[in-house]
Every structure is written in C-alpha cells, then in structure tokens.
C-alpha cells in the first residue's frame, strides 16, 4: 500500500525514525548550550549531556544506515557532501581551529 506521498509505509517509518532521532539530538544540544557538557539530569546522574549527545548522534547514524540499507540514500554521496561542507564552512566559522579551505 502506497501513501499519498508515494512512500511505502516502511520508507515513511524510516524517515519518521530519522526525524525523531534528529529532534532528540537537537534537544540535547539545547541542554548543552544552556547547562554545559558536564551537566546531567538529576534523575540520571550517570549520563551527562556529552554522553546523551553521543547516544543520540549514534541513533541518528543508525537511522541513516537503515535508509542506506534500504537504498533510499547513498552514504558515499553523503560523505562527499560532508567533505564539501567542511571545506566551505570554514570561511564562516570564527572560533574553530584552522579548517582546510579556511583563509585565516
């Protein structure tokens, strides 16, 4: 059964998973910006914000891999886009160590 967007239920489910994991990563980034990497929720003192970010980014990678495994995205192209972004973004960053492509 196709949805109105011409996506299968399985494809939609993978995209929903990716979206959810990216949103959870954004939420943790907000906590880090407000409270720092070493802060933690009082109900869970065994996992600080850095560990939460690493976990959520791992979940994003899992969802990404699922999309790749189902041939919906291509990880080689994603890697190429990441390399291009790294070269381009350096000229706009002000507080990072020298990045290839950046003119200091």
What's the confidence (pLDDT) of residue 97?
78
Q: Is 68 in the same domain as 79?
A: no
Range of the domain at 87: 75-104
In this structure, are 85 and 52 located in the same domain?
no
Give the pLDDT confidence score for residue 104 in this predicted structure: 41
With 50 as the cut, is the pLDDT of residue 34 above it? yes
Contact call for residues 51 and 41 (beta carbons, < 8 A): no
- The tally of domains found in the chain comes to 2
92 with 63, same domain?
no
pLDDT higher than threshold 80 for residue 3? no
> Cβ distance 17 to 66 under 8 Å?
yes
Note the pLDDT of residue 1.
56
Question: Whole-prediction pTM value?
Answer: 0.84
Q: Please give the torsion angle defined by the CA atoms of residues 42, 48, 52 and 55, in that order, rounded to the nearest 10 degrees.
A: -130
Q: What is the pLDDT of residues 36-92, one digit of tens each?
A: 999 999 999 999 999 999 999 999 999 999 999 999 999 999 999 999 998 899 888
pLDDT of residue 14: 98
User: 101 and 64 in one domain?
Assistant: no
62 closest CA partner among 17, 27, 32: 17
Please report the pLDDT score of residue 103 as a whole number. Answer: 47
Residue 4 included in any domain: no
Residues 61, 96 within the same domain: no
- Mean pLDDT on 22-49: 97
* Pair 66, 47 in one domain: yes
């Amino acid at each position: 059964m196709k949805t109105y967007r011409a996506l299968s239920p399985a494809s939609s489910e993978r995209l929903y998973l990716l979206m959810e994991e990216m949103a959870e990563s954004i939420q943790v980034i907000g906590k880090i910006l407000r409270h720092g990497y070493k802060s933690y929720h009082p109900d869970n003192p065994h996992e600080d914000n850095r560990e939460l970010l690493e976990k959520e980014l791992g979940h994003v990678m899992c969802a990404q891999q699922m999309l790749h495994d189902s041939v919906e995205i291509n990880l080689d192209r994603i890697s190429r886009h990441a390399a291009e972004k790294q070269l381009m973004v350096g000229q706009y960053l002000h507080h990072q160590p020298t990045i290839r492509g950046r003119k200091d």
